[in-house]
Amino acid sequence: MAYNTCINQGYFTSDGTDKIIAVRSDVDWVKVVNLTNIAGATQWAGTEWYWQRGMADGDAVTNYHAAGTQAISTSTCAVGYNGVTYRGIYLMDSSTNPVGAIDATITAVSNATPPVATLTSTATLQPGEIVRMINVTGAQQLGGMDFTVGVGTFTGTTFSLDYMSTIVAGTVGSWRRIAYDPLYYPRKRFISAISAAASAVVKLTVTHGYTVGQKVRFRVPAAYGMVEMNNLVGTITAISTANNTVTVDINSTAFTAFAFPLTAAVPFSHAIMSPVGEASEAVTGKISLDDSVYNTGYIGFKLGTSATAAIALGSAGGSNGDAIKWLAGKSFNL
């Protein structure tokens, strides 16, 4: 009797980014209310969203203020209103790793630092998400690699490969959105640069999530130049979230310079950094595991929003500062 009727509820204050909510049981329906918008009388402000299985991912039935009053009108996120479509509710299961639909509209990848891709539209993407680049003419070395994008530059037609080193400009190509990180934390990451320094600074192409004290091993193939780094193990002594780097206790001053391969180097093996080993903490005697042992899998849903204020206003994830309550549950029959 008690099974499959699990009801979950909660609340949060929107920070203006997509809100991921992990729940203990896979949901069949979700209801969201934006208390801030309900109390106000802002035209085009969304007040309520409802999604259930059978509806498209990212859609929801939504109520909104069609005028600057508290009168309510109804639409769906996919149909939209005021000439805008909105972001609704997405089911999440991070134990899968689906890649998004291919977008073959890239027309250029610049030689700026970091490189910036130009394409037809970034409508299906959000800043900070992960993108896999595919078959960029003139920049084949990017193919198959994952990048955090859009943190530095994000417009309707461009996104930056935020932590990539400078390349010779490429032209046409494709990309896919990567929905989830690999299941286990910490994850191996592609390396885009290693400095020559008493404590080497390593830049990674995807937001790394590492912390000080973790041990890592480097794989640096000959195509990258700095072969002295290959197979070395280091301990992370500092991190930079702004630059997405880790500093390790390896003196690389006398090493061959690190140089990201050029397009003609394909095929080659990539330079990567992997978590390894374990460490005992002298004070507590506790053993901390540094390799990938933390299963980060979750099921739940995501309330979408946008960096564009007009879209955030009618999206389930809300605008920065909005007070939002949600309710989700299972159904006996679908």
Partner 1 sequence: MVLNEAAKRLGVSLRQTEDQLTRDMLAATASFINCTAGVNGDNPTEITRTDVDTVVRALLNNDAYTILDNIEGDDKFGTAPIRDAYFALASTQLSGNLDGVAGFVHKNQYPSPKDALRSEWGSIGNLRFLLSSVGSMTGSGSNLGANVYNIFCVGMEAFACIEQDGYSAQFIYRPPIYDGPLALNCSVGYKFAEVPRITNDLWVINLRATLA
Of 316, 323, 307, 330, whose CA–CA distance to 156 is shortest?
A: 307
Among 19, 31, 65, 187, binds partner 1 (CB under 8 A): 187
DSSP of 121-138? --TT--TT-EEEEE--TT
Among 31, 65, 87, 132, binds partner 1 (CB under 8 A): 132
- Strand, coil or helix: 86: coil
- Give the nearer residue to partner 1 in terms of CB position, either 228 or 291: 291
- Cβ contacts of residue 327 below 8 Å, gap of 6+? 7, 8, 9, 30, 31, 32
Quick one: tokens of 26?
């896979």
Give the nearest distance from C-beta 142 to partner 1 in angstroms. 8
CB atoms closer than 10 angstroms to residue 152: 16
Among 19, 31, 270, 302, binds partner 1 (CB under 8 A): 270
Quick one: tokens of 271?
């330079």
Stretch binding partner 1 (CB under 8 A), from 14-22, 56-64, 176-184, 245-253: 176-184
Angle made by CA atoms 178, 183, 185, in degrees to the nearest 5: 110
- Cβ contacts of residue 308 below 8 Å, gap of 6+? none
Give the nearest distance from C-beta 217 to partner 1 in angstroms. 6
9 binds partner 1 (CB under 8 A): no
253 binds partner 1 (CB under 8 A): no
29 binds partner 1 (CB under 8 A): no
Is there a contact between 247 and 198 (Cβ–Cβ < 8 Å)? no
- Residues near partner 1 (CB under 8 A), total: 41
- Give the nearer residue to partner 1 in terms of CB position, either 120 or 295: 295
Residues in touch with partner 1 (CB under 8 A): 1-3, 95, 97-99, 102, 132, 134-135, 140, 143-144, 174, 176, 182-188, 217, 219, 231, 266-270, 272, 274-277, 289, 291-293, 295
